[in-house]
């Protein structure tokens, strides 16, 4: 398998560099262009420090998936948008609406088990625990951009941010009136459609989004009957310059043959910018997720999980070199369904100082205190730094401590519940998990045409929660439970190479090497691929309104069991998309996923094989 990986990387890197070198000879005045014209380095991001910074100057490792990249992609799900992001592995599932990507990992740690925090517009939503829906929260057409912050994030976000944070940012209220709609149809009766309307009337702005998805796709594979509706709205009122009131209201409903889920999110907020450059925000958030899961062979689960959150934050520049931020957060998690009833309260304080220590050195130190009603007080510090060696070479480093509360099912399911061939029971005596995360990376602009990002990382996790066989029998089947193991680690290398080859033609290469171990049994963690690589080639001809996006990924073998005796096969998977602009208001696209009809290395799982999707988009 390693030979295939080397061959893939050699060909992809060689082609990307060769094409880029051809374009280097064409550089003249473009060499003087600003950062915001190079690889999105001038775009403003907010997730890494909770303050506005351009991507090139963020001291914490951050990846950005832009609106343009979303429009060019084949993605029908959020998880698929992330598949070329080094460190995130969503490669064990088909790209189809209705799939919940329950094996997705972030730097070797599972989203399903709550190691990666998922946000929508900076606010928590349910991950996969207790049959949540993980990364695939909303259709890609509703998304403005996605910010991926790598490394320990508990310093700003508390529990569940051990591996990092994925912030899905929806489309904002517009500066002028617009209307757009789209419709698509494809293989296995897959269809999606939606529309958006927005305007700004004086000081009042709004945007309304509606989308619907339908297919015969299952949550984990095989056929099903998936149907979903989404509504996302934002309202803003500028009281006076720099001071605004905001309100977001979102609702969605999803159903399969054996599952029904719906959620509602309401988020009012106040933001103010003052003449001295300081900023203050006060936000609240009400989220309720109702679900009913009744798959044959599993114990029925029915009820609600909700968040009630209030957060305030104040930032101010001090002594011309320190952007200091202080914040308070109260989070109440309410669990009310047939297997458990529980309320968990967390009070949090966080402090952060962004210090321009030298003209080319920025340091960020932060610490957060969480007072958790179940586990008491937890302190999460982090130190990050950005050293600009030259105007084209940047070095980033970070070290921090994170913690993660065990999931609802791990802690609170006192009555055993059936999971097909066995029963499993929660353990109320579990301890939180702790991790020290390290990362070091270098970002090198060889020119306006070529960008290299290379980094290494390690996570040392103590008291990791795993499933084990209790040796007992319950109702004729094996009884499993959960326990804390002594220690585990994940470590690896991440590489991303981006090349603007010539006008309209761009290429990118991503690669991740991952090494994991459960130190108690000296075995690798399951469903973690050692080598994942991806190559993309995008072409856009503005004159003729033509666009093409080609993608190819390689995923090496993975162990399927904790004893490391069974493993999947390595595989390649490809995709292609064609886009044609009919007028300035209309465009059509045709995409093919899984070009080679791969079984993703595991023929025992039902797969869709090669799939097709055609779409029409209108914007006025």
Q: Each residue of 11-26: pLDDT tens digit?
A: 444 434 433 333 333 3
Asked if the model's pLDDT at residue 193 lies above 90, the reply is: yes
Which band of pLDDT confidence, cut at 50, 70 and 90, is reported for residue 1? Answer: very low
pLDDT value at position 29?
A: 36
Give the DSSP H/E element, type plus range, for residue 67.
Answer: helix 67-72
Residue labelled with tokens 């190559």? 535
pLDDT value at position 22?
A: 36
CA distance 46 to 146: 11
Give the mean pLDDT of the chain.
88
pLDDT value at position 160?
A: 86
pLDDT value at position 32?
A: 38
Which band of pLDDT confidence, cut at 50, 70 and 90, is reported for residue 131? Answer: low
Q: Each residue of 500-529: pLDDT tens digit?
A: 999 899 999 999 999 999 888 899 999 999
Q: Each residue of 434-456: pLDDT tens digit?
A: 999 999 999 999 988 899 999 99
pLDDT value at position 127?
A: 58
Asked if the model's pLDDT at residue 215 lies above 50, the reply is: yes
Residues 6+ apart with CB under 8 A from 531: 1, 2, 5, 511, 512, 513, 514, 554, 555, 556, 570
Task: Please report, for the domain that includes residue 466, its CATH number.
Answer: 2.40.170.20
pLDDT value at position 564?
A: 94
Higher pLDDT, 87 or 133: 87
Which band of pLDDT confidence, cut at 50, 70 and 90, is reported for residue 130? Answer: low
Residue 400 is encoded by which pair of tokens? 């921090």
**Residue 10 neighbours by CB distance under 10 Å:** 10
pLDDT value at position 486?
A: 75
Q: Percentage of the chain surpassing pLDDT 70? A: 92
Cα 557 to Cα 88, 91, 269, distances in angstroms? 16, 11, 47
Q: Tell me what the mean pLDDT of segment 599-615 comes to.
A: 88
Q: Each residue of 529-587: pLDDT tens digit?
A: 999 999 999 999 988 999 999 999 999 999 998 899 999 999 999 999 999 999 989 99
Which band of pLDDT confidence, cut at 50, 70 and 90, is reported for residue 372? Answer: very high
Residues 6+ apart with CB under 8 A from 197: 178, 179, 207, 208
Cα 83 to Cα 93, 104, 418, 486, distances in angstroms? 11, 10, 32, 31
Residues 6+ apart with CB under 8 A from 511: 9, 86, 493, 494, 495, 496, 531, 532, 533, 534
Mean pLDDT is highest, among 3-17, 102-116, 558-572, for: 558-572
pLDDT value at position 604?
A: 82
- Quote the domain boundaries for residue 533: 2-619
Number of domains in the chain: 1
**Residue 176 neighbours by CB distance under 10 Å:** 8
């Amino acid at each position: 398998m390693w030979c295939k990986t080397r061959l893939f990387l050699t060909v992809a890197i060689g082609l990307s560099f060769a094409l880029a070198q051809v374009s280097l000879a064409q550089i003249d005045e473009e060499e003087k262009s600003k950062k915001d014209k190079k690889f999105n380095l001038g775009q403003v991001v907010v997730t890494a420090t909770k303050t506005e910074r351009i991507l090139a100057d963020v001291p914490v490792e951050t990846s950005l998936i832009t609106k343009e990249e979303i429009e060019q992609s084949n993605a029908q799900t959020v998880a698929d948008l992330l598949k070329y992001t080094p460190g995130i592995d969503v490669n064990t599932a088909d790209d189809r609406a209705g799939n919940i990507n329950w094996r997705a990992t972030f730097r070797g740690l599972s989203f399903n088990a709550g190691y990666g925090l998922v946000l929508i517009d900076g606010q928590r939503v349910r991950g996969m625990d207790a049959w949540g829906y993980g990364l695939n929260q909303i259709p890609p057409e509703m998304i403005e951009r996605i910010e991926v912050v790598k490394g320990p994030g508990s310093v700003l976000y508390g529990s569940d941010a051990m591996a990092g944070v994925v912030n899905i940012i929806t489309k904002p209220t517009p500066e002028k009136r617009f209307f757009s709609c789209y419709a698509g149809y494809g293989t296995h009766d897959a269809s999606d459609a939606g529309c958006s309307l927005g305007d700004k009337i004086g000081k009042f702005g709004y945007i309304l989004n509606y989308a619907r998805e339908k297919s015969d796709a299952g949550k984990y594979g095989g056929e099903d009957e998936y149907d979903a509706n989404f509504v996302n709205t934002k309202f803003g009122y500028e009281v006076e310059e720099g001071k605004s009131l905001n309100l977001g209201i979102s609702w969605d409903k999803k159903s399969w043959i054996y599952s029904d889920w719906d959620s509602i999110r309401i988020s009012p907020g106040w933001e103010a910018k003052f003449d001295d450059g300081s900023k203050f925000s006060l936000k609240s958030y009400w989220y309720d997720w109702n679900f009913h899961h009744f798959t044959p062979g599993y114990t029925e689960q029915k009820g609600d999980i909700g968040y009630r959150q209030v957060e305030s934050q104040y930032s101010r520049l001090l002594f011309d070199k320190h952007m200091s931020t202080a914040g308070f957060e109260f989070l109440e998690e309410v669990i009310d369904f047939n297997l458990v009833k529980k309320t968990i309260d967390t009070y949090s304080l966080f402090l952060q100082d962004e210090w321009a220590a030298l003209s080319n050195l920025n340091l960020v130190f932060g610490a957060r205190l969480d007072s958790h009603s179940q586990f008491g007080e937890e302190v999460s510090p982090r130190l990050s730094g950005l050293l600009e060696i030259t105007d084209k070479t940047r070095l980033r480093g970070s070290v921090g401590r994170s913690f993660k509360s065990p999931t609802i099912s791990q802690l609170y399911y006192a009555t055993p519940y059936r999971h097909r061939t066995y029963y499993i029971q929660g353990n109320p005596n579990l301890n939180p998990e702790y991790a020290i995360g390290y990362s070091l990376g270098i970002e090198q602009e060889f020119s306006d045409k070529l960008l290299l990002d290379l980094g290494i990382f390690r996570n040392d996790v103590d008291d990791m929660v795993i499933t084990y066989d209790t040796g007992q029998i319950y109702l004729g089947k094996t009884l499993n439970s959960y326990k804390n193991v002594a220690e585990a680690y994940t470590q690896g290398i991440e590489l991303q190479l981006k090349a603007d080859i010539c006008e309209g033609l761009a290429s990118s290469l991503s690669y991740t090497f991952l090494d994991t171990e459960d130190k108690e049994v000296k075995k690798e963690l399951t469903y973690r691929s050692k080598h994942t690589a991806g190559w993309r080639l995008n072409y856009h001809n503005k004159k003729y309104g033509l666009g093409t996006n080609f993608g190819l990924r390689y995923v090496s073998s993975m162990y399927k069991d904790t004893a490391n005796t069974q493993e999947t096969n390595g595989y390649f998977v490809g995709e292609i998309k064609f886009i044609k602009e009919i007028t300035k208001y209309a465009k059509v696209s045709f995409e093919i996923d899984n070009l080679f009809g791969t079984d993703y290395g595991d023929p025992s799982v039902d797969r869709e094989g090669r799939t097709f999707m055609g779409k029409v988009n209108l914007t006025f």
